[in-house]
Chains A and B, each alone.
Chain A
């Protein structure tokens, strides 16, 4: 497709279970970002990929959160042993390069995670 694609769009999981969220960036985009959007907290940066490497993981809230990117394309965000405070919309964005270099990033519609 032409835009950033995320799956699943909605996920309900039990507390303590692991979840995987997938992001398909726009073809050719080398930069990929994960953000989290929760009520009252706004949008929080999680991790940034340039190609397959992650030079900035500073936003990952705990060691239960991890992410990888393969083939310079698809990325997976994994949350282990989910907690109720992990409930949020997880947004993926991709771009031709770093934002401060003047590149525009494009967001997907997000994966809505509910932990019960």
Chain B
């Protein structure tokens, strides 16, 4: 069935450091890919998405490119801030395969940014 694997955390960075959180997937068909973020004490929020190969999703300085050849959707930010401290989830949905159109999530990566 469909699955998402993301790098385990926690990840601790200093402010203004470069961030990469790796995400790879296995899916039947042509999935859409997502990054969700969960800030402390808040609900999950959509950060960005990409619906087809080579699409780049971007929001709040974060970017991720849908790479079909490597089945990856790595999250990057050039300069993190303390306010980016949160748990980040990679997810996919596909009409085919085990997800049946629902979101399948990775286990999450906790990011802590120190001043």
A residues at B contact (CB < 8 Å): 3-4, 33, 35, 42-43, 45, 48, 56, 58-59, 91, 93, 98-100, 102, 104-110
Bound complex: CA of A107 vs CA of B36, how far in Å?
A: 10
- Grouping DSSP codes into helix (H, G, I), strand (E, B) and loop, the B interface class, with mixed when no group exceeds half, is loop
Picked from B43, B89, B99, B102, the residue with its CB within 8 Å of the CB of A4 is: B43
Q: B105 — which chain A residues lie within 8 A by C-beta?
A: 42-43
Q: Residue of B at shortest CB range from A93?
A: B44
Q: How many A-B residue pairs have CB under 8 A?
A: 57
Q: Residue of A at shortest CB range from B6?
A: A42
Counting CB contacts under 8 A, is B57 at the interface? no
- Taking the closest CB of chain A, its distance from the CB of B95, in whole angstroms, is 5
Picked from B94, B107, B108, the residue with its CB within 8 Å of the CB of A100 is: B94
- Taking the closest CB of chain B, its distance from the CB of A110, in whole angstroms, is 7
Interchain CB contact under 8 A, A42 and B106 = yes
B residues at A contact (CB < 8 Å): 32, 36, 41-46, 49, 51, 89, 91, 93-95, 99-108
Interchain CB contact under 8 A, B106 and A99 = no
Bound complex: CA of A64 vs CA of B56, how far in Å?
A: 42
Q: Which of B36, B43, B93 is packed against the most chain A CB atoms within 10 Å?
A: B43
Q: Residue of B at shortest CB range from A58?
A: B100
Q: A110 — which chain B residues lie within 8 A by C-beta?
A: 43
Picked from A3, A99, A102, the residue with its CB within 8 Å of the CB of B103 is: A99
